[in-house]
Amino acid sequence: VLLQTILVGDSGVGKTSLLVQFDQGKFIPGSFSATVGIGFTVGTVPISFLFQIWDTAGQERFRSVTHAYYRDAHALLLLYDITSKSSFDNIRAWLTEIHEYAQSDVVIMLLGNKADMSSERAIRRDEGERLAREYSVPFMETSAKTGVNVELAFTAVAKELKHRAVQHPNEPKFQIHEYIEAQKEKSGCCSYF
């Protein structure tokens, strides 16, 4: 099964960095040149599902190019930057676009990236949580720099997709929210913030 996950969000929120951190376990500082068209990388996740990951360009002028890719996506990681109010405000616009172009059963997760930059924080954690609750999507803060919650974000999405794919009628439904909360407690993630 090939699972396509797309990272979506404004330019500079850290989509490419998050992908590199997940795929290679490292942070390469400095700016990547803005992704032109569609960046592409393949990574494996612990549950050995092949993930096909699209890293979409956040820049307005590339949007028409990316619409076509929403249709085939199984999951969307929607990113904002916790130091950028505009990237947070634009999440609603991204969600509108997602609802317009993506499959109705697409798995969506909201991520507040750059959680390591606490001194420049512009969006409180509970603001992210509230927005996520409003749209009934799971949420966590991540850092492509320190790696906090990066593995968890991708793993939770992969598990959700796997359970959907192999769901037996009598099996209890996978609860992505509960899974994330349990993992967060285990890793003590939240003391980072």
Ligand X SMILES: Nc1nc2c(ncn2[C@@H]2O[C@H](COP(=O)(O)OP(=O)(O)OP(=O)(O)O)[C@@H](O)[C@H]2O)c(=O)[nH]1
User: Nearest CA to 109 among 12, 17, 18, 2?
Assistant: 18
Rank residues 4 and 149 by Cβ distance to ligand X and give the closer one: 149
Q: How far apart are CA 98 and CA 38, in angstroms?
A: 17
Selected range binding ligand X among 27-35, 40-48, 164-172, 175-183, rule: CB under 6 A: 27-35
- By CB under 6 A, the residues from 117 to 146 that bind ligand X are 117, 143-145
- By CB under 6 A, the residues from 141 to 160 that bind ligand X are 143-145
Using the rule CB under 6 A, is 193 a contact of ligand X?
no
Indicate the residue whose CB is closest to ligand X.
14
Q: How far apart are CA 178 and CA 165, in angstroms?
A: 19
CA distances to 2, 22, 103, 148, 175 from 115, rounded to whole Å, are 30, 16, 30, 8, 25
Smallest gap from Cβ 178 to ligand X, in A, equals: 26
Selected range binding ligand X among 26-34, 126-134, 156-164, 185-193, rule: CB under 6 A: 26-34
**Three-state DSSP state, 186:** helix
Helices (H), the chain: 15-24, 63-71, 85-89, 91-101, 125-134, 150-166, 176-187
- For the record, the structure tokens of 192 come out as 């980072």
Rank residues 4 and 35 by Cβ distance to ligand X and give the closer one: 35
Smallest gap from Cβ 1 to ligand X, in A, equals: 26
Contacts with ligand X, residue ranges (CB under 6 A): 11-17, 29-32, 34-35, 57-58, 113-114, 116-117, 143-145
